[in-house]
Amino acid sequence: MNYYSLNNPNHKVSFKEAVIAGIAPDRGLYYPEQIPTLSPEFIANLEQYSREEVAFQVMAPFVGESIPEAELRQIIEETLCFDFPCVAVHDSIFSLELYHGPTLAFKDVGARFMSRCLGYFNRNSEEKVTVLVATSGDTGGAVASGFLGVKGVNVVILYPSGKVSDIQERQLTTLGQNIHALEVDGVFDDCQDMVKTAFLDTDLKGSGLTSANSINVARWLPQMLYYFFAWQQLKKHHKEIIVSCPSGNFGNICAGLLAKKMGLPIAHFVAATNVNDTVPEFLQTGKYIPKPSKPTISNAMDVGNPSNFVRIQAMYDHSLEAILNDFSSYSYTDEQTRAVMQTLYSQTGYIAEPHGAVGYLGLQETLKNHPYAIGLFLETAHPVKFLEEVENTLSIELPLPEAIAQLLPLEKVKTRIATYAQLKSFLLNR
């Protein structure tokens, strides 16, 4: 399997080269040259296979010859060492809980898969790799955990000052070892722009930079697996399935659409956003206009120019009509988010954090036109990741999981920067 730059179809690389580079030299995102189709027999009998076997069959065509079968199976086994339950909320609505991994967020899968791929590629090299990542919330913690202690790899995480929760910040600033946190005076889009600029900076060519954002194919592609695991659990209901994904940088839902293209029979996808509504507006008007991001209580989705949307456009040959056949998008305010968190809790006892609540809102909207479908919303983070907001909104006290409690006494270690020049200096003088 080769990957090409979405800015230049003639620039092609292997899976290994795409993972190590992160982004193409022309700043384009890498995209698979073809989308493999899974056999109808495999899809029809999905529930009979183990999670690990499903993951191998889905991922192997994308990895190609870059990783031998035995090593890829080992990487998958280490990646999927926690559960992905579909929890009944009410009627025909389920929550796909993606927060049962080590950092309590859906990004654990991509971060663990990528870290192990990079570890394999770097196993015989004396040269160090620097993983550069921007985070609006959960990516940083998942990447920090996934790469902690990986030989030959340094991790540099940029996050917007005052725009992540205390627990999210602790997950990236308290680990030490090969993990370095940079607190940026700005918003997530500023962090993301700095990362992209660093990749094109000729002065940093010898620094071994790669990205662990969902622009990296090894972070993006494994997110397909959530949808296969959900199908394994919900197929028995013999109804069409509508999936609503809270969306910020659009990597997760892009992976879901890719799973559909491979043959997974999800009826329709919903990208639910907060007031950062660039994509919902595009689907209404046909005009894609990036905007400055606005702060919300669902901060991991505070993205005004989602990097992965170009992959969705490529998947559908830039046809708005084709996109709309598979995919809807709606935006919601903080007030709507808090209100539905309260309604869910009072009526069902289910505790949703802000991102999952936005996903639930998008699902409600879409099910109006699909009254007999199974509805699935993705709960992308443990409620404790947004402790203050959840406790205040629901007037409850959440018990702290051990993984979080052990971070509280630790000192936050971070470096404050405001400009790309400061990031460049940090990278050159590590």
State the catalytic residues.
Answer: 107
Name residue 19's amino acid. Answer: V
Sheet strands side by side (includes 241-246) = 86-90, 93-97, 374-379, 241-246, 268-273, 327-331
Residue 50 phi/psi, 5° resolution? -70, 160
Region for 238 from its dihedrals, namely left if φ exceeds 0, alpha if ψ lies in -120 to 50, beta otherwise: left
Burial class (CB in 10 A: 0-12, 13-18, 19+), 399: exposed
Helix 188-200 vs helix 420-428: crossing angle, to nearest 10: 50
Integer distance in angstroms from the first to the last C-alpha of the chain?
35
The candidate with the shortest Cα–Cα distance to 268, out of 373, 356, 361, 378, is: 373
* Cα 184 from Cα 202, distance rounded (Å): 23
* Cα 376 from Cα 97, distance rounded (Å): 10
Alpha helices in 349-419 (DSSP H): 354-367, 387-394, 402-405
Alpha helices in 45-152 (DSSP H): 51-63, 69-79, 108-121, 138-147
* Cα 368 from Cα 371, distance rounded (Å): 6
Name residue 24's amino acid. Answer: A
424's tokens? 């460049």
